[in-house]
Amino acid sequence: QAKGMSEAANGSLTTHVLNTATGLPAAGLAVHLAQLQEQGLRWMELVQRWTDEDGRCPPLLAPGQAEAGTYKLRFDTAAYWQGLGRDSFYPFVEVVFTITDPAQKLHLPLLISPYSYTTYRGS
């Protein structure tokens, strides 16, 4: 039981992307994670991943890597839609969020279509 408790204390950050126009996962979409630096509102990119055939990628922050602070996920949606031969209104989607408790597991899904997007804090 102590093992399970220690795992719960190691927060992580995951995402997945769903194409709501087709109802299918968005594969091959680039996802960037950046952290806001305390001085001068400068973003420092931490990692870049690509979604797999299930619209998911390895954790953007692995267990134990999260720190309190402000972060930004940028999803490169234009290249994804172009790859499908579709025009889109949003060239990318940026989701800015704050981690207050680094021990929590955070999941931020993104639902996209060529002319809209939705995000929420998942579990």
**56 labeled part of a ligand binding site:** yes
Contact of 79 with 93, CB cutoff 8 Å: no
**120 labeled part of a ligand binding site:** yes
Contact of 16 with 64, CB cutoff 8 Å: no
**Measured between alpha carbons, how far is residue 104 from residues 69, 95, 101, 117, 119 in Å?**
13, 18, 6, 25, 18
CA pair distance 113, 81, nearest whole angstrom: 9
**32 labeled part of a ligand binding site:** no
- Planar angle of CA 25, 113, 36, nearest 5 degrees: 85
Binding-site annotation, residues for substrate: 16, 56, 120
Binding-site annotation, residues: 16, 56, 120
